[in-house]
Amino acid sequence: MKMADEDQFSDWKLSLSEGSTSLGLQTLYLILSLVVAVGCGLLLIYLVCKKDYLPKPCNYLRCSLSMYDIIFVCCMIPTEIYILLQADDSNSQTACWVQKQLFRWIGLALGSTYLLMAYELYQFICHPLHYHQRVTTKRVGISMLVVLAFSSLLRVVFIILEVPSNPDTPSHCGFQAVDTTGPAVVIKNIMTVVLAMEFLAIFVFYFLIFREARKQQERDENRNLWLYQTRAFKTMAPHAISLAVWVGPRCS
């Protein structure tokens, strides 16, 4: 289901260059994308912190997604602009290497955050009476910190082990694919297994929520309630769409 890291990164790089007929238009597009992405993310975080009725576990998880998006675009887009405007290629290789590492780190962190959101949604729909005891702001905050620390630690360890034993061969704003060997392959396999288990757990939670939606449909007194009209399905749909938008380009 998940493409190789090199293929994902190549697709992201290709999407930045497609549709731009000049360096100026491409730079302008990147700057506008940066402004819009950062503005929308900061607006969401501001509203959650400002409005008294919004500080909830689910909204804190959404703020976590916005935080990762802001970090991603604030690092990737300026670096890409620097690469585009760089006259020589001496520093472009380092910039591209930084982009690759950030891209992989963000992927693992976002996958873990979507898993937390799926679990929160499952508790809210399937166990509403115990929701406030099982899902609290404190537990969500601790979980977010664990995700950040775990994903960062794996990426740092991978870099420390990979760089000395598998130096990448520079090419035009990128690196030729080199098979990871030695201790680094263990960390790479761990990250792959973690991502696979996260997606499996997310779909299990989706299945349980979908089953609850069917039960709500069956409990309808008038027997004319469509599945998509149930409270469980309508609550799950935005989360599923958001996940599909994130995963879709990586599987294509």
- What are 104-122's pLDDT values in tens digits? 888 889 889 999 999 999 9
In the block, tokens 């930045």 appear at 16
In terms of Cα–Cα distance, which of 172, 174, 171 is closest to 96? 174
Where do the DSSP E strands lie in the chain? 170-171, 174-175
Q: Is the pLDDT assigned to residue 152 strictly greater than 80? A: yes
Q: pLDDT class for 238, splitting at 50, 70, 90?
A: confident
Q: Using an 8 Å Cβ cutoff, are 109 and 61 in contact?
A: no
Averaged pLDDT for residues 209-228: 72
**pTM recorded for the entire structure:** 0.77
Q: Is the pLDDT assigned to residue 145 strictly greater than 90? A: yes
Task: Show the tokens assigned to 228.
Answer: 């998509």
What CATH number was assigned to the domain covering residues 5-195?
A: 1.20.1070.10
Q: Using an 8 Å Cβ cutoff, are 191 and 154 in contact?
A: yes
Q: Is the pLDDT assigned to residue 224 strictly greater than 60? A: yes
pLDDT at 129: 87
Averaged pLDDT for residues 37-53: 87
pLDDT at 154: 87
pLDDT at 169: 42
Alpha carbon distances (Å) from 192 to 2, 11, 125:
9, 19, 30
Q: Is the pLDDT assigned to residue 201 strictly greater than 50? A: yes
pLDDT at 89: 60
Tell me, rounded to whole angstroms, the distance of Cα 209 from its chain centroid. 22
- What are 21-41's pLDDT values in tens digits? 577 788 888 889 899 989 998
Domain extent listing, the chain: 5-195
